[in-house]
A and B are shown apart, each in its own frame.
Chain A
Amino acid sequence: MNASNDKTSAHATDEPVLVASGLRKTYRMGRVPVQVLKDASIEIRSGEWVAILGASGSGKSTLLHLLGGLDRPDPDGGMIRFEGRRVSDFGGAELNGYRNRSVGFVFQFYHLLPELSVLENAMLPCLVPNRWFSATLPLLAALIGGGVGAVVGSTFGVDILPTADAPTPSKIALLALTCGVLGAAIGVVIFQLGQILAERTRLRHGPQAANSRHTLEEFGLGHRLRHRPSQLSGGERQRTAIARALASEPSILMADEPTGNLDATTGREILDLLKKRHDAGLTIVMVTHDPTVAEYADRVVQLEDGRVVESTV
């Protein structure tokens, strides 16, 4: 691992929050294996802004994806620890929780959901965690609907069979089953409709909505809350994406070329916005190919050919 410099922001501590060592990642291009990361190691301390700088194809995005839990290293391809726990050992639910609460991602191409409004996009991470009733209640609605359907089918099945068909027990059972399927479908759809109505209030006036609204207003998007992403400029989209990444108050914000798709002025606006958050204590890991963008960081990690070659302040 390369030595890191001690010149960091006032909030940075010596305690590493995220440690990656000896990371290896190989992709397949058709039949050809391409090793993108070759023994890359990095340490991120709490409150630090680290820029991962490298040329195109150097493996910087791959490193960020591995750190953020969006991808896994090769088997025996190194180790990532977050607050002392091995991320590479996380199971499905733990990994989802890590992506949802511990890290927030900002992508070069924003990756907003086009069907949702700015406010809904921004608060999406707060809606994602499954609550105990997320699967139980629809299932219960399906069971109740299916039961009612089956009872109706077995009771009135004889009346709707064509006279040409003798009402044998197997035919009545089939009819009860099909009525059960219809009943279950109706039950679930009615439940979903009820849920949409109930969620509407939460989406507009709940505590998560208030938080996201506050963030968006802070980012100058207070007048755009109900707009769709397609109605926004590139800078506005990226600000919405940052608001989304911050919605669940993560420990680390990971940004993959956050200004790569923006003009210089808008890019600076975005970096100023990140700096403001960083000054307030946010840990940031940012991937960029642009040295001027990397200047915003407390520390710059140079990546070359899948290896960390230099770390400068």
Chain B
Amino acid sequence: MYQPLLANRYLRSRIIPLIAVAAVALCVGLVIIVVSVMSGFLDMLLNSGRTLMGDVIIRYADPGIPHYDLLIEEIESRPEALAATPVVESFGLLKLPYGNRTEGVQVWGIEPASFGQVVDFKDSLVWTEAPPEVRKFADEMNGLEIPVFEKLPRLDPESDDDDPGVILGVEIDSAAKVRRMDGSYEVKAPAFWMPFRDVEITLIPISTSGALEKPDNRRFDVTNEFQSGVYQIDSRRAMIGLETGQRMLGLEAAPIYDTRLLDETGELERIGTYPARVQMILVRAADGVSPEQLRDSVNLAYSAFAAKIDDEGAMTIRPPDEAFVGIRTWREQLRDLIGPVEKERELMRILFSIVYLVCAGLVLSIFWSIVHEKTRDIGILRAIGASRPGVLGVFLAYGLVIGLVGAFLGALLGWSVVVNINSIHEAMGEPAPDWTWITAFALAAVMLLTAIHAGLRGGMLRTLLSIVGALILAGVGTALVLHRGFLMWDPAVYYFNSIPNQVDWSSAILTMAGAIVFSVLGAAIPAAKAADTDPVKALRYE
């Protein structure tokens, strides 16, 4: 059993196995870092989308879904559903308190309590307390009252005297505050800090016949701002109370009168109630239930609910037919947002499969040269009676150990970089400390002196390597001097506070396995070729 002995000696005897291990480790590490960041980015995007709308969305545009409370009851009675919440939705106009600015916004009417059970609403609220610059401003303004931020803000007014509340997307007001690099906000104009101010919202109700009715304009207190992480939502959505929204859009409950009785008594006879309606119901899945399973369950719940309403006598508004109601998972609902990112990821995968191939070629070429160098040894082994598979076994073990050690070192490298990617990124964002470039130039000077010394003594290799080393170090030093801080990941562009720092272990394991397979193949193919050569030819090989 000479194979482990020889493989062990080959691994320990030269520097080239170390170079091969380093090459495998660098390739594995590089792929792990890039794929992890890409997957993490998509994960963050999808998670933010999911936390905005729950797992399944039932949607029916105007005139909306009547008896939605019964539908919610029916859905919540199913084990697949954890909670459901009604939402009214319309486009409207928002008048900001400065500059006569009016924005077109998407208005959602929500019930904060149930809405918070379905989506991660509380975590998306930006303000938990007033920032220092606002407090300072309030003090200067002789104790201007600073609003208290509730975890579950009240949006519908308690009485007719109160103004309703609104929660604005954090990017709607982009003039009074500035986003910092760490993702938090600095209030530049405390006087126009939104929670100090009122806004006006105008909504246009649509009649059951589809005609536009008289616009409803109301003043709202800005209760807080929210940040979903998706720019299109943060810059366009305003959330008001469900009842307020229903009232402004004409979706609240209303009595039904029999107009035929008008002429005889002079009064309308109330013969029923037109139920309040919503355009959307968001549903959250119970733990361990997939959105697809929940969607199927919600479909059944809707059928049961529609059948129940049908049974309840004639004088009511029946829910729309199941065929016209959209019941979709969050992924289906956000197709237009997710689709391009998924396509980008697929593109990255294709690009990285090319990188994989380049890495594989690198590993193959290194092994080819290693095994070629050992052709004479293969001839010796064959001359003393070693079989072809036996000789191949030496190089399989050799490639396997290099692949395995390289793959694990690469995973360690990838993990270290991904976990610390934000610290590394922050350090890159700062100018380089003086000691770094001073050290680089000092080392370059030492290398230059070594080159001169070696040159005077006639050592060409040492001279050349020292000159190359000096040039590289001088280049690094110059780059450090010129480096004034560079941030690749700008939260103002990407709208995530940090770079994803979770290793995508599924891709990492795939990469590691690929590296091992390529290392083994890389060693085995030239070894098999050498083993097939006659011993005499192999022995003559130099």
Contact = CB atoms under 8 A, between A and B. Distances in A.
A273 interface: no
Interface residues of B, number: 53
A65 B376 CA distance: 16
A101 B385 CA distance: 8
A107 B376 CA distance: 13
B534 A71 contact: yes
B512 A113 contact: no
Nearest to B508: A160
Nearest to B39: A162
B5 interface: yes
A116 B345 CA distance: 50
B138 interface: no
Contact of A97 (B42, B383, B385): B385
Interface in B365-397: 376-377, 379-390, 393, 397
B1 A182 contact: no
Contacts of B535: 70-71, 99
A4 interface: no
Nearest to B510: A178
A111 interface: yes
Interface in B504-531: 504-506, 509-510, 512-513, 516-517
Interface string A76-104: 00000000000000001100111111000
Contacts of B505: 160
A174 B381 CA distance: 39
B509 A65 contact: no
A163 B385 contact: no
A222 B517 CA distance: 43
A114 B376 CA distance: 11
Interface residues of A, number: 60
B509 A175 contact: yes
Contacts of B376: 111
B467 interface: no
Nearest to B380: A111
A262 interface: no
A161 B404 contact: no
Contacts of B39: 162, 164-165
A309 to B, nearest CB: 24
Contacts of A162: 39-40, 42-43, 504, 506
Contact of B384 (A71, A92, A177, A244): A244
Contacts of B377: 113
Given A125-B385, A162-B506, A192-B397, A199 B5 contact: yes
B5 A203 contact: yes
Given A178-B510, A179-B509, A128 B536 contact: no
A164 B517 contact: no
Interface stretch (B8-16, B126-134, B436-444): B8-16
Interface in A89-148: 92-93, 96-101, 105, 107, 111-116, 120, 124-125, 127-131, 134-135, 138
B4 interface: yes
B42 A164 contact: yes
A264 interface: no
A139 to B, nearest CB: 11
Given A96-B385, A189-B404, A196 B380 contact: no
A125 B509 CA distance: 40
Contacts of B506: 157, 160-162, 165, 171, 175
Given A111-B380, A192-B7, A164 B2 contact: no
B9 A115 contact: yes
B164 to A, nearest CB: 36
A122 B516 CA distance: 34
B393 A135 contact: yes
A1 to B, nearest CB: 24
Contacts of B107: none
A262 to B, nearest CB: 19
A128 B534 contact: no
B46 A163 contact: yes
| Interface SS majority for chain A | helix
A185 interface: yes
Contact of A134 (B46, B379, B390): B390
Interface string B270-310: 00000000000000000000100000000000000000000
Contacts of A177: 513
Contacts of A134: 1, 3, 390, 393
Contact of A96 (B4, B47, B386): B386
A116 B9 contact: yes
B380 to A, nearest CB: 5
A96 B387 contact: yes
B4 A181 contact: no
Contacts of A112: 380
A182 B376 CA distance: 32
Contacts of A100: 384-386
Contacts of B54: none
A71 to B, nearest CB: 5
B6 interface: yes
Contacts of A186: 404
A99 B384 contact: yes
B509 A131 contact: no
Nearest to B386: A128
A107 B380 CA distance: 10
A20 B42 CA distance: 75
A107 B536 CA distance: 11
Contacts of A120: 5
A111 B290 CA distance: 67
B240 interface: no
A115 B10 contact: yes
A231 interface: no
Interface of B: 1-10, 13, 39-40, 42-43, 46-47, 290, 345, 376-377, 379-390, 393, 397, 400-401, 403-404, 407, 504-506, 509-510, 512-513, 516-517, 534-536, 539
23 contacts: A65-B536, A70-B535, A72-B534, A99-B385, A99-B535, A101-B385, A111-B379, A112-B380, A115-B9, A116-B5, A127-B5, A129-B385, A134-B1, A134-B390, A135-B393, A160-B506, A160-B509, A175-B506, A177-B513, A192-B4, A192-B397, A195-B1, A244-B384
Given A65-B536, A111-B376, A160-B506, 20 more contacts: A71-B534, A96-B386, A98-B385, A114-B13, A115-B6, A116-B5, A127-B1, A127-B5, A128-B381, A131-B1, A162-B506, A163-B46, A165-B39, A174-B510, A178-B510, A179-B509, A189-B400, A189-B401, A199-B4, A199-B5
Interface of A: 65, 68, 70-72, 92-93, 96-101, 105, 107, 111-116, 120, 124-125, 127-131, 134-135, 138, 153, 157, 160-166, 171, 174-175, 177-179, 181-182, 185-186, 188-189, 192, 195-196, 199, 203, 244, 248
Q: Which 8 A-B pairs have the closest CB atoms?
A: A100-B385, A115-B9, A181-B513, A178-B513, A160-B505, A127-B2, A99-B385, A164-B42
